[in-house]
Amino acid sequence: MEILKEFKEFAVRGNVIDMAVGIIIGSAFGKIVSSLVQDVIMPPIGLIMGNVDFAHLALTLREKTDTAEAVTLKYGVFINTILDFTIVAFAIFMLIKQVNRLKKTEEAVAAEPATKECPRCCSTIPVKAMRCPHCTSELQAA
C-alpha cells in the first residue's frame, strides 16, 4: 500500500501534470505542423519545381518481385520531416524566447534593494532613510 501512496504523490505533483499537458499539446501541435508542411507548404514548392510531389520522391534500390517488396529510399518523406522539425523547432525557440523575455522583466522589477548600509555604523537601514536610526548620522538622498 505504501507504493500506491508514493505513486499518487508522484502523479498529482504539479510538474508531472504540467509535463503531461505539455506532451499532449506538443503532440497536437506536431500534427498541425505536419499538415502545414504536407498540405500547404510542399504543394506550391512542388508546383514551382515542375509538379513534383515530395511525398512520392524515392530512389528504388531493388524492384518489387513476387516474393519481396521493393526496397526504396524515400527521400521526399525525409525532406518533409526535416521541414516539420525546422518549423516546430523555430516555434519552440520563439516561445522560449518570449518566456525568457518576460522572466527578465519580472527579475528586473524585483531586483531593486529595499535596504542599504549606513556608511558610518554599517547598520542595515531602509533605502529611503535620510538619517540612520542607529547612529543618527545624516545620509545623502538616494
Please tell me the distance from the alpha carbon of residue 127 to that of residue 142, in angstroms, as a whole number. 7
> Domains of the chain: which residue ranges?
2-110, 112-142
32, 104, 109 from 49: Cα distances, Å = 25, 45, 53
Q: Is 77 exposed, middle or buried (0-12, 13-18, 19+ CB in 10 A)?
A: middle
Q: Look at the domain 2-110 and name its fold.
A: 1.10.1200
Least confident segment among 41-45, 48-52, 110-114: 110-114
Global pTM?
0.53
Tell me the per-residue pLDDT of 71-114, one tens digit each, with 9 for 90 and over: 999 998 898 888 888 888 888 888 889 888 888 777 666 667 78
**pLDDT averaged over every residue in the chain:** 83
Rg (CA), the chain: 31
